Structures are given as C-alpha cells and as structure tokens.
C-alpha cells in the first residue's frame, strides 16, 4: 500500500527521514532504506538539508525505490529557479518517484557554502501551486502544455510553533489551497501547543483535505539536545522537556530520547485530525524500530502489498 | 529633488517600516487607481525623462519608508505595508518556518521577521484576510521599474488572487 493509498484509506501513516551521503555512493542509503522498509510507509530523502551539500534527493530517492521502499523526494526553493524546479519534477516523476515534499529551504548562510547565491525564485506555496497545475491542468507555469503530465502526491511542511503563531494554521491553509495533500511538521516537543494549533487547523477544515503528520524526533545526547534547542532555526524545546532529557546520565540519554519520542507519538496519535507521524531521525535511523515498538506501532508495513 | 543618485539596496534585509499602518492604509485609499491616476501614469510613461524622475521619487520615498528594493511589483497594500522583499528568502506568501521564538529573522537575528511585523500591522487594521491571498511568482524583468505606474495602469491586478484554481501563471 502506497503512502497516498494508506492516507486515503484513513490509516495511520508513518514516515521517516534519510539523509543522503556526502559522497558519490548509494551503499549507505540503500542499507538504511532496507532497515526501515518494514517499519515505515515512506521515507523522506532530504535535499541538501541545512544547506550542506549532499547527494541529490532524486538520486537518493531512486536508491530507496531500489531497496523496496517508497521515497518522499524533498525539494527546496533554495538552489533552483522555476525552470530547474519544474524540470526536476518531470524527471523525478518519469523515474517513478511519486511523493514530493516542497519547502522553502534553509538559507545558505547556515550551510557549508555560506557564500552561495540564495535562489528563492519561487516560495514553497508558489512551487506547490506550480506542481499541482502541472499535474492537474497539464500546464507549466508559463502556460505551455505538458505531455504526459506528472503523477505526483504533493507534500508540504509547517512549523506550528513559530511566530506569528496566529497565522500558522492559515499558512497551512494557503499551502492546502495551493495543492498540498499531506504535511509534515517541524519537531513536536510541546504537545499541548501542537494540540492548540491542531484545533485551529480543524476549524479551517484542513484535515479532510490534507493529511497531517507531526514530526517526532529522538534526541540522542545532551549535545544533540543543546544543538537542537540553540542552533536549529524553528525548533522549540520547552523547559520541562529539556530538564527531563538533560537530567538523565549520559549513558541513558539515548534510551530516554527514544522513550520520550514513543510517548510523544502516542499522545499525538490521540489528537483528532492527526493522520500519522513523521520521524525526524536523519542520521539516527536505527532508532525507528525502538520508537515504533514502544509506541505500539509494530505492524509491519513494507510487506503488506508493495 | 536631491542630486544624490539613488543607492539600490542589493541584499534583502528585513526593514521595519517608518510609516505607521494606519497612515499607510489611509494613503492606500487616496492612491487607489482611478481614471485620473491612469491618465497621469500614461502621461508620465510617455516621456522617458518624466518616467525616470518619477521612478527616482518613488524609489527614494519607498526606500526611506519601507526599505523598498524596487522589485517593480509592489505587494505592500496586502502585506500590512511591510515589504516582503526584505525577507532574506524574498517570501511573498508568508513567513518561513525558521522564525525565532521572539519573532526574530533567522538570517538576521537582530531584526524582526517581516511577516511577524506584517501580521501585527494587518491585525491592527483588521486586514489579516489580506495575508491569505496567494501571491504569484515575481516577474524578475520588472526590477527597477516604478510599481506605482504599473499599479495605476492596472498591470498589477494579477499579482495575487484568492482563487488558487486560477493557476500560478501570470497570464499573457
């Protein structure tokens, strides 16, 4: 069952994240995909995340398909103009990649090439709108006709916690209007704040039009926790969560991070309108089975009819 | 008019407007396109000297008030009169996900996110519905041109829409 089919059937979907290698090899990504295959419905392949150069998302996505798992190709607006973005979508769809996750992307200033020219020719909403028009109206942004049209399942991201808080549900509404059919959120450490945002999302009638998958991560160490809280734009770690994770001895930090993630998954699954979870575990993919096991989501996924 | 040539701001940097939201919205009513402005814009465009002088006046005014970078397709009327082209990612449809908890820009942490500003100013005037409009991709050929002339001539009518079904292309 594909991610699109599972969400359409109202099933609880699980996605995770793979970071492609800094190198011209596919061995590592193939092995990670094989590890995750029976646990998740699909896996995101990041697009030079944090503005650090990595193997291209479309190439990583092909490796994931080769390993028997469904990829979600991430596509940022940071590095390509409207010509390249449309061309890449056509190429990816022609190669069998179906799920495309659109985001604005981190600013190059935060990456390993801080002097790079930031492109941002389109924003994430304009890109979603363009891709949906390509698929549904068989037209490029220019108006020229396409044949055959790409068949894609369009995803977006949202940060429920970032200011202006009163606008965040509306912003998701704009993405849904532009074409988003599923959304994965930034790390959720503050479940009550997420639940308040979900209330606004339900008031706008979005869950019936767009599947909402909150992001959950497993923090591995005190260092990772501090980095996430202080260095990653848009991640908010409430004080009680910080104290809980920082309060355990170093040798138990990873286990506590997994336990917290599993608890968070269970709490989020109980919120009306939540269609699944997105495990933000790039670089820590081996934590996925433990998180899902502790959360009671052990049903094998990849094997049920791929 | 000053003799000093205009200095275009190259890099997008968030700018807090120097003009209050209430005054800005009042000016919006006064400057709304009408046959008189359309006639005036056509006259100005007919003379390259008049167009240059007018464009320079627009540049100086909007640079001082809003940090305008002269994209030539002004979104200010529907963004709380905060320029979205000051966003380091030039986002015209709303904020990115990296806004700091205190409302700061992720790229310039000592400055406020233009969209946090825009939301507050639009809310203060009961205009938050403006922020739901979908902005089409900018036309990069228009940089440096007067957006007031475009606005009065009706060339800006397709910049944004409330109807996503219309498609993101700018039309002809």
Q: Which of A50, A103, A123 is the best substitution to test chain B (most B C-beta atoms within 10 A)?
A: A123
β-pairing, B134-135 vs A42-45, is: unpaired
> Average pLDDT, stretch B64-71?
96
Q: How confident is the model at residue A304 (pLDDT cuts 50, 70, 90)?
A: very low
Residue B41 has pLDDT above 90, yes or no: yes
- DSSP bridge partners of A211: A182
> Average pLDDT, stretch A239-258?
94
Residue A136 has pLDDT above 90, yes or no: yes
Q: Do A162 and B98 touch (CB under 8 A)?
A: yes
> Average pLDDT, stretch A199-205?
98
What DSSP character marks residue B85?
G
pLDDT of residue B6: 52
Q: Are B104 and B113 in contact (CB under 8 A)?
A: yes
DSSP per position, A240-300: HHHHHHHTS-GGGHHHHHHHHHHHHHHHHHTSTTB-EEEE--TT-GGGHHHHHHHTT----
Helices (H), A179-248: 191-203, 222-231, 239-246
Please tell me the least confidently modeled range out of A65-79, A183-197, A226-240, B2-16.
B2-16
Q: Is A86 on the interface with B (CB under 8 A)?
A: no
pLDDT of residue A303: 45
Q: Which of A81, A163, A190 is the best substitution to test chain B (most B C-beta atoms within 10 A)?
A: A163
Residue A112 has pLDDT above 50, yes or no: yes
Residue with tokens 């996900």: B97
Backbone angles phi, psi at A153, to 5 degrees: -110, 120
pLDDT of residue B166: 83
Q: Please state, for a pLDDT cut of 70, what percent of chain B lies above it.
A: 93
> Average pLDDT, stretch B126-152?
96
Q: Please state, for a pLDDT cut of 70, what percent of chain A lies above it.
A: 97
> Average pLDDT, stretch A66-85?
98
Residue A302 has pLDDT above 70, yes or no: no
In a 3-state reduction of DSSP, which class is residue B96? coil
Residue A155 has pLDDT above 90, yes or no: yes
Q: Are A212 and A274 in contact (CB under 8 A)?
A: yes
pLDDT digits 0-9 by tens, B74-115: 999 999 999 999 999 999 999 999 999 999 999 999 999 999
pLDDT of residue A298: 72
pLDDT of residue B172: 39
The pTM of this model reads: 0.95
Q: Residue B94's closest chain A neighbor by CA? A: A171
The residue that leads in pLDDT, A231 or A241, is A241
C-alpha B137: how far from chain center: 14
- What residues have CB less than 8 Å from B25, skipping those under 6 apart? B81, B125, B127
Q: Is A115 on the interface with B (CB under 8 A)?
A: no
Q: Residue B108's closest chain A neighbor by CA? A: A109
Q: How confident is the model at residue B167 (pLDDT cuts 50, 70, 90)?
A: confident
Distance from CA of A26 to the nearest CA of B (A): 30
In a 3-state reduction of DSSP, which class is residue B89? coil
What DSSP character marks residue A32?
H
> Average pLDDT, stretch A233-254?
92
Q: How confident is the model at residue A301 (pLDDT cuts 50, 70, 90)?
A: low
Distance from CA of B132 to the nearest CA of A (A): 6
pLDDT digits 0-9 by tens, B3-24: 555 555 578 999 999 999 999 9
Number of residues written out for chain A: 306
Average confidence score pLDDT of chain B: 92
The residue that leads in pLDDT, A228 or A101, is A101
Q: How confident is the model at residue A231 (pLDDT cuts 50, 70, 90)?
A: confident
Q: How confident is the model at residue B169 (pLDDT cuts 50, 70, 90)?
A: confident
Q: Do A141 and B115 touch (CB under 8 A)?
A: no
Q: Is A138 on the interface with B (CB under 8 A)?
A: no
Contacts of A120 in chain B (CB under 8 A): 89-91
Average confidence score pLDDT of chain A: 94
Q: Is A32 on the interface with B (CB under 8 A)?
A: no
Please tell me the least confidently modeled range out of A221-230, A260-269, B54-63.
A221-230
Q: Which of B80, B96, B117 is the best substitution to test chain A (most A C-beta atoms within 10 A)?
A: B96
């Amino acid at each position: 069952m594909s991610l699109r089919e599972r969400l359409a059937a109202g099933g609880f979907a699980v996605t995770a994240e793979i970071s492609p290698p800094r190198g011209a090899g596919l061995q590592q990504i193939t092995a990670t995909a094989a590890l995750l295959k029976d646990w998740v419905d699909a896996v995101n392949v990041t697009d030079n995340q944090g503005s650090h150069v990595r193997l291209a998302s479309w190439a990583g996505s092909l490796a994931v398909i080769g390993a028997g798992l469904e990829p979600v190709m991430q596509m940022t607006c940071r590095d390509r103009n409207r010509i390249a973005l449309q061309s890449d979508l056509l190429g990816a769809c022609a190669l069998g990649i179906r799920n495309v996750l659109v985001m604005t992307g981190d600013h190059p200033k935060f990456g390993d090439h801080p002097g790079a020219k930031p492109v941002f020719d389109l924003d994430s909403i304009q890109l979603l709108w363009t891709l949906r028009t390509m698929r549904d109206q068989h037209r490029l942004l220019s108006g020229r006709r396409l044949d055959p049209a790409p068949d894609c399942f369009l995803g977006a991201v949202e940060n429920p916690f970032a200011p202006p808080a009163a606008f965040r549900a509306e912003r998701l509404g704009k993405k849904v209007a532009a074409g988003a059919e599923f959304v994965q959120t930034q790390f959720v450490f503050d479940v009550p704040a997420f639940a308040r945002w979900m209330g606004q999302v339900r008031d706008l009638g979005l869950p019936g039009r767009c599947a909402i998958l909150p992001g959950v991560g497993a923090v591995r160490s005190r260092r990772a926790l501090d980095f996430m809280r202080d260095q990653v734009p848009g991640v908010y770690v409430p004080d009680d969560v910080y104290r809980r994770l920082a309060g355990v001895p170093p040798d138990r930090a990873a286990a506590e991070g997994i336990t917290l993630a599993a608890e968070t998954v269970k709490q989020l699954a109980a919120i009306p309108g939540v269609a699944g979870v997105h495990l933000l575990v790039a670089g820590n993919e081996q934590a996925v089975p433990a998180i899902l096991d502790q959360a009671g989501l052990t049903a094998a996924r990849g094997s049920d009819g791929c | 008019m000053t003799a000093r040539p205009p200095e275009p701001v190259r890099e997008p940097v968030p700018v807090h407007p120097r003009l209050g939201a209430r005054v800005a919205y009042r000016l919006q009513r006064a400057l709304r396109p009408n046959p008189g402005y359309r006639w005036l814009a056509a006259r100005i465009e007919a003379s390259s000297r008049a167009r240059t002088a007018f464009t320079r006046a627009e540049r100086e005014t909007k640079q001082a008030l809003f940090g305008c970078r002269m994209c030539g397709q002004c979104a200010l009327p529907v963004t709380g009169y905060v320029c979205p082209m000051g966003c380091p990612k030039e986002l015209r449809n709303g904020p990115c996900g990296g806004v700091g908890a205190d409302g700061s820009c992720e790229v310039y942490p000592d400055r406020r996110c233009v969209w946090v500003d825009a939301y507050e100013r639009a809310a203060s005037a009961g205009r938050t519905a403006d922020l739901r409009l979908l902005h089409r991709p900018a036309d990069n050929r228009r940089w440096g041109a007067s957006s007031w002339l475009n606005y009065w001539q009706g060339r800006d009518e397709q910049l944004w829409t409330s109807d996503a079904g219309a498609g993101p292309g700018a039309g002809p």
